Amino acid sequence: MSVLLEAVNISRSFISGDSPCLALAPLSLVVEKGEFLVVTGRSGAGKSTLLHLLSGLDLPSQGEIFFKNRSLSRMNEMEIARLRNSSFGFIFQTPHLLSDRTILENVAMPFSYGEPVAHGTVDKRCRELLAYAGLEELIHRFPGTLSGGEMQRVVFARALVREPEIIFADEPTGSLDGGNSRKIMELLARQVNKGCTVVMVSHDPEAGSFGTRTLHLEKVESAEGVHS
């Protein structure tokens, strides 16, 4: 295995009112290629904060994050946007689909940015992924007509459409029932078997059982908060 992502002594503070709030206490972490890392911990422990830092959506107050040995904090905005679009896939608890676009168009959205790709290639890739997610019958429908489980499978397809090296998922099954939750987890696990890396925040022990490693965060009670 090779190191894909490395966080060196990162922490994140926010100013809340007059006082600083430590959302994530200092932490170092290595994610190997092909791992399925599950991040657990109580509400407020800093799980989403960590995911945002690792995926370049936010910058640490201290420390540094490297993706394939390149420091995220030394990249300019354009470089980081390009990296997020080409190498990272995102799945959040709330689907965030465009309501006036069809399912097929939503899945193709990541191709609107970055290097142009031929329309035929985009169309083929999106249809293949939607079929893979069991949604081939729904491609011309609009998001408002789909169930929560179907919408989350559309998000899964959109996250994979540019063949990311790593998928960041924040409570991807949080709003789903047992059956739909299992479908999403099986799709993610299949990607890991194909060599993709996943970092997932989850409260759900069943979802967590799909991981290959767990990182448990402890809620920060003081500036010296501890992670185990």
Which residues of the shown chain bind ligand ATP in the complex (CB under 6 A)? 14, 16, 21, 23, 41, 43-49
Pick 33 or 203: Cβ nearer ligand ATP: 203
Pick 53 or 198: Cβ nearer ligand ATP: 53
Are the CB atoms for 85 and 111 separated by under 8 Å? no
Pick 26 or 41: Cβ nearer ligand ATP: 41
Pick 47 or 158: Cβ nearer ligand ATP: 47
Write down the least CB distance from residue 61 to ligand ATP, Å.
Answer: 12
Residues 6+ apart with CB under 8 A from 61: 11, 12, 13
Write down the least CB distance from residue 16 to ligand ATP, Å.
Answer: 5
- Residue at shortest CB range from ligand ATP: 23
Write down the least CB distance from residue 111 to ligand ATP, Å.
Answer: 30
Residue type, 127: R
Query: What are the backbone dihedrals phi and psi of residue 103, each rounded to the nearest 5 degrees, phi first?
Result: -60, -45
Write down the least CB distance from residue 9 to ligand ATP, Å.
Answer: 18
Q: What distance in Å separates the CA atoms of residue 70 and residue 29, rounded to the nearest whole number?
A: 15
Write down the least CB distance from residue 122 to ligand ATP, Å.
Answer: 34
Pick 31 or 45: Cβ nearer ligand ATP: 45
Write down the least CB distance from residue 43 to ligand ATP, Å.
Answer: 3
Q: What distance in Å separates the CA atoms of residue 157 and residue 228, rounded to the nearest whole number?
A: 33
Pick 130 or 207: Cβ nearer ligand ATP: 207
Residues 6+ apart with CB under 8 A from 51: 39, 168, 170, 199, 201
Pick 44 or 114: Cβ nearer ligand ATP: 44
Write down the least CB distance from residue 206 to ligand ATP, Å.
Answer: 17
